[in-house]
Every structure is written in structure tokens, then in C-alpha cells.
Chains A and B, each alone.
Chain A
Amino acid sequence: MKKNVRVCLAIALLALMVMPMAIHAEEKVIRIGAMYPMTGRPGLYGIDSVAAAEMAMDEINGKGGVNGYKIDATFTDSKAKPAYAVRVATRYITEDKVHFLFGIVSSGVGLAVTEVSKQYKTIFIGTDHASTQLTVDKFQPYYFRVSNDTFSSMAAGALYLKELQAKKPWKTIAYIGPDYAYGHDQWNELRYNLDRFGVKHKVVGEYWPKLFEPDYNSYVTSLINDKPDILVTGFWGGDTVAFIKQAQAYGMFKKTLYFQPDAGGNYELMSAMGAELPAGLVLGARHYNNWPDTERNRNFVQSFFKRTGRYPTYAAEGAYAGVYAIAKAVEAVGNPDDTEALVKALSTLKIQLPEDPEGFTSYIDPETHQIMQMQAIGVTMPNNDFPPAKMMLGDWKVYKPEDIAPPAEYIKEKRK
């Protein structure tokens, strides 16, 4: 009898050991191959993106996954280098058999990886890079972007400047931005939109410091000499911080309106500068921790804070949106293997995201595969709700996606 009990126990134990393996073998998985920079200056965006993507995955998998599929992602440092990211993307597709390529902060890297996606017919969900080229000039059917492009930011910026001109006439404008595609694209797109909306302006200065330039003193004094009414800047990250610190010391913002509609409103600027950040700067970004004031956005920001102990930069929401977009598409198609059906589902995707104000739902434009979202621009003012920041944006102006997306003739011209 005793012996029988022991045998039974042994069999039960064995079954318990084998069972997880059997379950594992049958487990259905949506495989995501993600690439983000983890080192150097853009490392902050990468680390925030990974945290937010994992947060979205935990939320979805915690509720049982999608159609019985669990989402699983591998994250690799893109090193912000196109050639390296191309190798990683190819390995993801050929060896790891991922269903989706995912992420990328730098547009240069995004433009390289979209070619891999096109060649292998593997869907690439862009979550943070902003160059309009990816959805217009270099459009390919397997590419989708879930954060806004520079064109929309600049069109919203041009409308903001138009409204401002009606209230407080301004005439002259100057630009300073990093000397590579991102900096040049923004300035070209802003001028295109100023002309499109009939905003009269005179350009009094254009400056192209190198990316990550540590010292802007000479640029600041030269810009002050140009006496622009509006100074548009196309920096991102630490370059914004350094420029504002140096320009502020010269009293520049007393006479000139500082205007940075694409990446200026990123939370990293507020957290880095604290009380030193001047009031009255006009900034925009791809997601804000304090706009829209909806339950969905508050939950997103607070969950991120609980998870990491800090408030997110805008890159986080892009990654979070990307995971949810994948889940929604797989839910519609039923599996992650039918790429063509997934492309179709993504092309007409409608999805509620943290950055959607009440009554609006983000959607993908089938023509460009670019997500269409409301774009807000705000002004810096005191706000202690998101420490270590002591200034946040407020006094919002909000623009509809139909008004700020690239017009049909622009897309046609660029795709010629």
C-alpha cells in the first residue's frame, strides 16, 4: 500500500514537472523585435520606451493576452546606429522569426530599418522617430507609425503663429536647429506651412549647430543681434536644455518669443531645469504628462511613475501605443502570422490612447500609415504636480489632425 502511494506521488510529481513544458510548447506567442538606444544621450528615451512597452505587455498579458496569444518582446540596444540596427532587425526576422519590428528613436535609424521591413515583408511599428519621410517620401506598406511626425508638429506650429499674429503682430522669425535631417526637415516644413496658411513673415537668421553641440554662446549673441520676434528651434533632448540655459543668461526671452513645437515640450526639459525654466516659452511634444486631463492619461502617467519612480518622457507613450496597436490588430485578425491581413487591419485601426482628449479616438491614415492625433501646444508656467519639474505647460491650443496632416498634393509631390 505504502509503496503504491509512493509510486502515485512520484507520478504526480513527474506530471507536475512535465506539465509546464507541455503548456509552454502549446503557448501561443506574438513575438516583437524591439530596438531602442540604451546608451548616451538618447538612452533616456530608450529606457522609458522599454519600461512603457513592458507596462503595456503586462497589462495585456495580465488580462489573458490577445485571442489566447501572449505578447513577448525582445529589446536590443540600437546604439542609434543605422547599420547596426539593420543587422539586429535582419536577425530578428530570419532567426527569431518575430512578427513585428518595433521601436526606434532616431529617424536615421528608422529610415534604414524600414528598408529591412520592406524587403522581408515584416511589419515595422515606429514608436518615436518623427521624420515625415517615413510615411511620405519613403512610404512602404509594412511601415506604421504610432507617434506624430514632424510635419504635423510644424503645421500645428504654423497655425499657432498665425493665431498669434492676429493678436500680437509679429514680423520677423529666425531658426536654429541641429545640422542633420531632423533639424532641416522641421524648418522646411514650418516654412511650407507658414506659406500654406498665408502667414507673412521675414526670415532674419538661420543657424545650424552640430547635434549635441555643448556651447551655444556665439549662436545666442548672433541671434540676439538678428532681433527676431519669434525664435523657432528644432532641438531635442539635452540640446534644448543647454540652449535655453545659455540663452536665458543673455536675457534673450525678454524680447523674443521662444517657440519649439516638435520636441520642446518633452518632460525631460521640465525635470532637468526645475525652477530655472523660464515662463512663457511656447513648446510642443508628442505626449504630455498633464494634457489631456483624462482618466486614461492620468492612469498611464501614474502607472509609469509607480513602475519606474519617475515621470515619463514622451517616448514612453509611443511605445505603449505601439504594443496596444499590435494587440488590437492581432485581435481583429485572430493570429499574428497573417501579415497581409494585419497590414489591412492596421491601415484602418482606431485606437483610444492616453494622449486622446475626451471625444477623440486616434486612427491610422490608410494613405500614409501615420497615426492621426490631436496636437496640443502649450506655454511654460509654474506647476509642482510632477516633481522634480517646477514648471509645466498650460494655456493649451489644440489642433485637429485633419488640419495639420500633410495635404494630398504635398504627398503626391514628394512621392513622385
Chain B
Amino acid sequence: MDASFFFTQFVSGLTMATLLFLVASGLTLIFGVGNVFNFAHGSFYMLGAYFGYQFVTVWGNNFWLSLVLTAVCVGLVGMVVEAVFLRRIYGRANEGGFQILLTYSFILIIDDLVKLIWGTEYKSLPRPQGFQGAFQAGDIYFPAYNLLIIAIGLFVVVAAWWILSRTRAGRVARAAATDREIVGVLGVNVPRTMTLVFGIATALGGMAGALAAPLRTVTPGAGIEVIIDSLIVVVLGGMGNFWGAWFGAILIGEVNAFAVAFVPKWATLFSFLVMVIVLVFKPEGLFATRKIRKL
């Protein structure tokens, strides 16, 4: 095992981790602020991939412009879904059950809509100009596009930190996460805050979908495939904790990368193993501050 292989494996783990984080961050944001587990979050990721395909491959737009447009469009779809449907079930008795039913039904609805509009054939999005090649160091290649994804992930982390801790909107969102009612009493328009947070979270998911499209397959059903790993990441980091999602994604990405290299036969087991260990010793998640109530 030489150092260069170790480094290559680390970087390929980071690529996976970043895409995982971009999906999981939205999932955890919605859970943190709205106390909603959005099963359909993966479907917004898939929608992002299809919007990206439509903007770039079909309409021939610039990749970067399309990425921004995709995030905005998916975010708008997310806001409509929140304002028209999810808002109706907040605060109901057995809210959890309604949430699961409603968000799960959106997986099926969005999947079928995608099938009606774009058909079932696999779609593809080329890598953007300037990022088709790879940096070469001796025998090893680092694909430029993968490095770009990692950089975008870092940018999102820094931007999110700045918004959540330094802006009024961020502080309101954090306050709403702690206590919806009190924040409402203080004059904040809580429903609007929730819609906005849902919009930002789904925009992140949509952007992740469009960013992943040049590396993955754009197909109906793609949303369900990312939701399980994202759920592991969110649980690991602590439900609703943004930094937890970041750390969880890197942990899962790297554990997976090195498990593949050293114990390929059992590689898929390891991310679940890490989750089980964390749940046994710190059931509230690594970064959570709220303690789980013991029965």
C-alpha cells in the first residue's frame, strides 16, 4: 500500500461524500427547522438531474447557468409542495404518520411525472467545458470534475455557516428550529420561514442532482437510491444538525472508500456498521445537543 494510492482513495471518497452531503444537508435542514422527515428529498435530487438534462442537453444552455436555474426551479417546486401540502399537516396529532404517507406519496408522484415528461430511457449530461479531463500525477489521475464537486461542497459549507450564524434569516431559522411557537409569538412569520427553508433545502438537493448527473445515470427511481445513504448520514450526524450532516457524509464517504480498497467483499456493510456503532453509543447522533429521552 503506497501513499499515492492512499491519497487517491481519500479523494475518491471525498467526491462521494460531497454529493452525499449536498443531498443530506437539505434533508437535515428540513428536519431541523420543520421537524419533517422528507422522504421525497431524493426525488428533488432526481428532479434536479432531469432539469439539468433539459437545460443543458435539450436546450443547449451553459452548464453553470443551468446549474443555477436548476437550483432555483427545484427550490420553487419544493416551496409549492411545502406551501400547498406539507403545511396542512404541521401540528396535527400523529403528525409523523401523515408526514411519512405524504412525503412517500411524493416519491411516487414525482417518479411518474418524470416518466411522463421525459420517458424511461436513461438520460445523460456531459461534463462541462474545461472539466472533461483529469490532472495527472505519475500513474494517478484526478478527474477535474470530481475536484470541482469537492470545491463546490466546501463552498456550500462555508456559505451555510455564514448564513446560519451571521444573518438575521439564519438566526430566525435556527430559532424556529428550537421553538416554532415562541418565534411566532415574537412576530416572525413562521409559515413563510418554513416555506423558505424548504425551498433552500430542495434547491440544494436539486443542485446535487444536476451536479451528479454527468457522473451518474439520469433515470426514474434515482431518488430512492440516494435517500437511504443520506438518511444514514443524517442519523449519524444527529437529526437536524447541519454540521453533523457534513461530518457524517465525510465519515461515510471515507469509510466506504477504504472498505472498498481493503475488504471489497464486505464493503457495502461498513456504512451500516458505522451507523449501528454510533446509534449504540450515541443514539442522538454525533453532533446532536438534544438528548434522547430514556424510557
Which residues does A use to contact B, with CB under 8 Å?
Answer: 39-41, 43-44, 47, 179, 205-210, 212-215, 217-222, 224-225, 237-239, 241-242, 245-246, 249-251, 268, 271-274, 276, 310
Contacts of A221 in B (CB 8 A): 5, 8-9, 11-12, 257, 261
26 contacts between A and B (CB under 8 A): A39-B220, A43-B115, A44-B120, A44-B121, A44-B122, A179-B268, A207-B264, A208-B268, A212-B221, A214-B225, A215-B16, A215-B215, A218-B257, A218-B261, A221-B8, A222-B9, A224-B8, A225-B261, A238-B122, A238-B216, A238-B217, A241-B124, A249-B143, A271-B121, A310-B119, A310-B121
For the complex, give the distance between the alpha carbons of A187 and B12 in Å: 26
Asked whether A249 lies within 8 Å of B124 as measured between CB atoms, the reply is no
| Any A CB within 8 A of the CB of B50 | no
Contacts of A222 in B (CB 8 A): 9, 260-261, 264
Asked whether A250 lies within 8 Å of B134 as measured between CB atoms, the reply is yes
Asked whether B12 lies within 8 Å of A220 as measured between CB atoms, the reply is yes
In the complex, the 9 A-B pairs of residues with the closest C-beta atoms, listed nearest first: A238-B217, A40-B221, A249-B143, A272-B122, A217-B12, A218-B257, A44-B120, A215-B16, A218-B260
For the complex, give the distance between the alpha carbons of A250 and B137 in Å: 12
For the complex, give the distance between the alpha carbons of A224 and B261 in Å: 11
Chain B interface SS verdict (over half): helix
Q: Choose one: B127, B134, B212, B214; the contact of A214 (CB below 8 Å).
A: B212
Which residues does B use to contact A, with CB under 8 Å?
Answer: 5, 8-9, 11-13, 15-16, 19, 111-112, 115, 119-124, 126-127, 134, 136, 140-141, 143, 145-146, 212, 214-217, 219-222, 224-226, 256-257, 260-261, 264-265, 267-268
For the complex, give the distance between the alpha carbons of A251 and B217 in Å: 19
Contacts of B119 in A (CB 8 A): 310
Known A215-B15, A218-B13, A225-B5; contact A43-B124, beta-carbon cutoff 8 A: no
Contacts of A249 in B (CB 8 A): 127, 134, 141, 143, 145-146, 215
For the complex, give the distance between the alpha carbons of A212 and B212 in Å: 14
Asked whether B267 lies within 8 Å of A214 as measured between CB atoms, the reply is no
Asked whether A246 lies within 8 Å of B215 as measured between CB atoms, the reply is yes
Asked whether B212 lies within 8 Å of A218 as measured between CB atoms, the reply is no
Distance in angstroms from A253 CB to nearest chain B CB is 12
Contacts of B12 in A (CB 8 A): 217-218, 220-221
